[in-house]
Structure 1
Amino acid sequence: MEMVFFNGWGSVLRILIIGLLAYATLILFLRLSGNRTLSKMNAFDLIVTVALGSTLATVLLSKNVVLADGAVALALLISLQFIITWTSVRFRWVRRLVTGEPLMLLYQGEFLLTSLRKARVTQDEVLSAIRSSGLSDVADVEAVVIETDGSLSVVKRHAESSHSSLEGVRGPR
């Protein structure tokens, strides 16, 4: 019968040593790459964070992956993240490709049905976001926007409506 609970101290010792070294390597790479690497500003950032965790787990648990290979994989993911974010800050078309654009779902009390369908968001979800923002009446809302990270932002209506807070938000097309 195969041992499923304990395979010997050798594998435990390997995980401890490789785990410490791989973790230290990841921390070093993250410090060198800057704060943006682990931000969750959009879906792309989330994917990189998950990929880094998956890579670290593979290095820890797979005897077929040596520390050097894992370090190269971590460095590659972080480098690609850096390159994509660097270019997206400088080129709008890259930013749109990687992160998309915010999309207006409600404007001055009117649901924008085309935008709701495109974003796959229901009117009930928009109403829930309005309530979560402390408002109870759609008439008190200037707009609801789905951001590039998937969150819903509620822009409150003021007596004298200002559209500057909606700059860069795409309406229905």
Structure 2
Amino acid sequence: MDYLHLTVELIVGFVALFLMTKILGKTQFAQITPFDFISALILGEMVGNAIFDESVTIWKILFAIIVWGVLIFSIEILSQKVQGIRGFLEGKPSIMINKGKIDYSALKKNKLDLNQLQTLVREKGCFSLHEIEYALLETDGTISVLLKHQYDVPTNKDLNITDKQVRLPVSIILDGQLEKDNLHMAGFDEEWLKKQLSNYNIHKYSDVLYAEWRADEHRFYVSTY
């Protein structure tokens, strides 16, 4: 196969898949349902096979991607509009532990053994199945855990801590590059930023690996290389 022709097909396939994935949404990246997972696999396999088949032209590759993308998009819209088929396409969460008792039939139905269940709950920071009141196996294969009352972490409300407004931290500098939009969103200008950096004896943005503003703490954090 001509290397130039192969290069063009690779570039076209990459761009087409990238655009299709952006159009279809973030679920194609996260693969949150079996349907999304299969769709992503088929799209990649379709382009991969077509690229190394000399009888397949670039236009056929694009046509296949577009048709498959339209099918996926149509089914996604249909599942949003028609609730009855949503469970069939996306699946439903399964209760693995119900009121502190392990549901063995649910484990068998979902092809899950106790070792796998222990691994999944450990990823949630829980190292004993006895501490769990409810555990749900989600459609993306992860597990959600609700601990028993005596093992759960107390909330601010439980501790009667005074309410405080929660704000997102704002990244100001990333890899030595100033994020101007974030700086203005935080309500500051470059003069303010330079003054903050000078407190750390820093005079160039390129010397900063990461810097952020924490509005809830009214503090500026800096990490250098």
TM-score normalised by length of structure 2? 0.61
Aligned mates of 1:111, 1:99 — CA distance in 2: 24
Counterpart for residue 33 of structure 2: 42
Greater shift after overlay, 34-43 or 86-95?
34-43
Q: Which residue matches 1:122?
A: 113
Q: CA deviation at 1:156?
A: 2.2
Q: Which runs of 5+ in 1 are unaligned?
A: 1-9, 162-173
Structure 1 residue 14, shift from structure 2 partner: 1.0
Q: Taking every aligned residue pair, what percent have the same amino acid on both sides? A: 21
Instruction: Please point out which of 56, 61, 64 is paired with 1:65.
Output: 56
Q: 1:131 to 1:26 in 2, by over 3 A?
A: closer
Residues of 2 paired with 1:157 and 1:91: CA distance?
36
Partner SS, residue 62 of structure 1: coil
Distance of aligned partners of 1:26 and 1:134 in 2 relative to their CA distance in 1, 3 Å threshold = closer
Q: Offset of 1:34 from its aligned partner?
A: 3.6
Residue pairs, 1:81-160, within 5 angstroms: 81-158=72-149
Q: Give the gaps of 5 or more residues in structure 2.
A: 153-225
Contact 2:120–2:142 (Cα < 8 Å) also in 1: no
CA 1:32–1:117 in 2, change beyond 3 Å: closer, same or farther? closer
How far apart are 1:37 and its partner, in Å?
A: 4.1
User: How much does 1:38 deviate?
Assistant: 3.9
Higher helix share: 1
Give the greater-gyration-radius structure (CA). 2
Alignment-mate amino acid for residue 141 of structure 1: I
Per-residue Cα deviation, 1:131-157 (whole angstroms, up to 9, x for no partner): 332223333212111111222222223
Moved over 6 A (4+): none
Name 1:5's counterpart in structure 2.
none
Question: Cα deviation per residue 1:21-77 (whole Å; 9 max; x = unaligned)?
Answer: 232233333334443444411111111111111111123211111111111110111
Q: Would you tell me which structure has more strand in proportion to its own residues?
A: 2
Tell me which of the two structures has the higher relative contact order, counting C-alpha pairs closer than 8 angstroms and 6 or more residues apart. 1
* TM-score normalised over the length of structure 1: 0.77
In 2: Cα distance, 1:18 partner to 1:89 partner? 35
Q: SS at the partner of 2:15? A: helix
Query: Secondary structure of the equivalent of 1:121?
Result: coil
* Counterpart amino acid of residue 117 in structure 2: V
Determine helix, strand or coil for the equivalent of 1:148: coil
Deviation of 1:17 after TM superposition, in Å, equals 1.6
SS in 2 for 1:150: coil
> Using a 3 Å threshold, how does the CA distance of structure 1 residues 99 and 29 change in structure 2: closer, same or farther?
closer
